[in-house]
């Protein structure tokens, strides 16, 4: 089955452009679009897409509000935030809410398509520049102190957490630790479950908030 997508952006030309780019991929179907956060929430409830591309800045209700409504409702739809502005507070807020990724609008077309596939598969995605700024933001506002939750991890799970925090893919982690990708996936799943985290994006936040990196 193709991955289904909803596009939420206040600019009609941007919505049309993203729809054309994603529609050209054989494994992606664009179900519809929304011009503001409230419409996006309503459309997600009605259409139940796999992924919603959510612009941060929109009138009436912005993307952060919409993302929180969608995620807190228990919806299976995963949220990929999009913005023109590489601003720390937006990144931090979106990931704390539970967004599965954060991508700048000026990213190449192939990166947008890949991001949708990655997020739909249950993984998380952060643009490299966003990751660097997130790290700076989180470490500047938090105390570098590991919590009891991290102590519940096995040495291997902690090792996997630290490599995830470095932004490495399952394949890269497998090569570094000399194990299979399936083994890495198992460790990642166990690590997220023990820490009560939704996905890898929140694992990055957790690692830096708690002084593990």
Write down all domains in the chain, each with its CATH number in brackets.
3-136 (3.40.50.2300), 144-210 (1.10.10.10)
pLDDT digits (tens, 9 = 90+) for 79-112: 998 877 655 567 677 777 888 888 888 888 888 8
Cβ(112)–Cβ(103) below 8 Å: yes
Q: Which two tokens stand for residue 112?
A: 């947008």
Mean of per-residue pLDDT scores for the chain: 85
How far is 2 from 6, CA to CA, in rounded Å? 13
How far is 110 from 8, CA to CA, in rounded Å? 19
| Rounded average pLDDT over 47-76 | 93
pLDDT digits (tens, 9 = 90+) for 173-189: 999 999 999 999 999 99
């Amino acid at each position: 089955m193709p991955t289904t997508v909803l596009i939420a952006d206040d600019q009609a030309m941007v919505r049309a452009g993203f729809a054309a780019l994603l529609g050209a991929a054989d494994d992606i179907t664009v179900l519809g679009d929304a011009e503001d956060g409230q419409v996006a929430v309503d459309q997600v409830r009605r259409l139940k897409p796999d992924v919603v591309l959510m612009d941060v800045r929109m009138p009436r209700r912005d993307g952060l509000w919409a993302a929180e409504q969608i995620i807190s409702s228990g919806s299976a739809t995963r949220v990929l935030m999009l913005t023109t502005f590489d601003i720390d507070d937006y990144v931090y807020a979106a990931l704390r809410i539970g967004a599965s990724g954060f991508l700048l609008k000026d990213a190449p077309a192939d990166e947008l398509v890949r991001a949708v596939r990655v997020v739909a598969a249950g993984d998380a995605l952060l643009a490299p520049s966003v990751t660097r700024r997130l790290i700076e933001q989180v470490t500047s506002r938090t105390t570098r102190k590991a919590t009891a939750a991290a102590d519940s991890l096995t040495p291997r799970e902690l090792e996997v957490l630290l490599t995830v925090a470095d932004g490495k893919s399952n394949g890269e982690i497998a090569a570094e630790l000399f194990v299979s990708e399936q083994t890495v996936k198992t460790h990642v799943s166990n690590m997220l479950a023990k820490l009560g985290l939704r996905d890898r994006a929140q694992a990055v936040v957790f690692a830096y908030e708690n002084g593990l990196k």
